[in-house]
């Protein structure tokens, strides 16, 4: 179901899950929502971005799993944990997620900004290759408009590809107990990656 923050808080307070996850694409507002819920409920909040190897270009393979396990082992009661590719991370942790919230970035008309990347039904390798081609064409057009030489080192971001493949394999938006639709203005959709995430790649 799609819910407001007050409804999410009410459900979490009622169900008291041991591990409540907040999932979504990079820059969707997971940290904002998890922080808000943590303050309102008085539950600890684990941000996986604080436990990842910097500048590695990916996510799941670079989480410091021992750190996360230690935090979870030494924390009693409900915990809110958030990050991208969360179901895959929990699989690596060999932990059961009791409750999953999925955050969608939506426009005023209800359109899900990331729907194309998160609901791929065609061959995933073909889709990624098409995205690479689109990025190269964009770079060529940008070079043409600025009068510069086209870049030859343009690569599709590794984290973006990982998130697309994660959604293809795990479909977290379909498995979530609650969908939270976060209204995003057009001005804020220029980059999906937050400054914090850029620093951790």
Tens digits of per-residue pLDDT, 145-195? Answer: 777 776 766 788 999 999 999 999 999 999 999 999 999 875 544 445 443
pTM above 0.75, yes or no: yes
- What is the predicted pLDDT for the residue at 141? 78
Phi first, then psi, for residue 102 (nearest 5°) are: -115, 130
Tens digits of per-residue pLDDT, 52-73? Answer: 998 778 999 999 999 999 999 9
- What is the predicted pLDDT for the residue at 1? 66
The angle formed by the CA atoms of residues 155, 31 and 174, to the nearest 5 degrees, is 75
Spatial separation of the C-alpha atoms in residues 81 and 14, rounded to whole Å: 18
Of the candidate CATH numbers 1.20.1530, 3.40.50, 1.10.10, 1.10.3470, the domain formed by 5-117+171-199 belongs to: 3.40.50
Phi first, then psi, for residue 29 (nearest 5°) are: 110, 20
- What is the predicted pLDDT for the residue at 193? 46
Return the higher-pLDDT residue of 149 and 47: 47
Spatial separation of the C-alpha atoms in residues 29 and 78, rounded to whole Å: 21
Tens digits of per-residue pLDDT, 72-130? Answer: 999 999 999 999 999 999 999 999 999 999 999 999 999 999 999 999 999 999 999 99
Instruction: Of 78, 16, 14, give the one whose Cα is nearest residue 46.
Output: 78
- What is the predicted pLDDT for the residue at 199? 31
Residue boundaries of the structural domains of the chain: 5-117+171-199
- What is the predicted pLDDT for the residue at 91? 98
Contact 119, 172 (CB under 8 A): no
- What is the predicted pLDDT for the residue at 189? 46
């Amino acid at each position: 179901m799609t819910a407001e923050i007050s409804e999410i808080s009410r459900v979490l307070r009622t169900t008291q899950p041991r591990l409540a996850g907040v999932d979504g694409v990079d820059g969707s507002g997971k940290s904002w929502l998890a922080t808000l819920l943590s303050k309102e409920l008085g539950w600890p909040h684990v941000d996986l971005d604080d436990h990842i190897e910097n500048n590695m270009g990916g996510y799941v393979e670079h989480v410091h799993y021992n750190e996360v396990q230690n935090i979870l082992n030494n924390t009693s009661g409900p915990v809110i944990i958030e990050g991208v590719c969360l179901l895959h991370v929990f699989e690596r942790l060999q932990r059961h997620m009791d409750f999953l919230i999925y955050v969608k970035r939506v426009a005023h008309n209800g359109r899900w900004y990331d729907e194309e990347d998160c609901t791929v039904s065609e061959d995933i390798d073909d889709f990624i290759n098409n995205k690479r081609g689109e990025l190269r064409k964009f770079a060529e057009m940008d070079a043409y408009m600025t009068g510069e030489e086209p870049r030859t080192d343009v690569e599709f971001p590794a984290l973006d590809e990982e998130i697309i493949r994660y959604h293809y394999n795990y479909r977290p938006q379909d498995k979530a107990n609650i969908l939270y639709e976060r209204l995003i203005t057009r001005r804020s959709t220029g980059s999906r990656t937050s400054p914090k995430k850029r620093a951790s790649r």
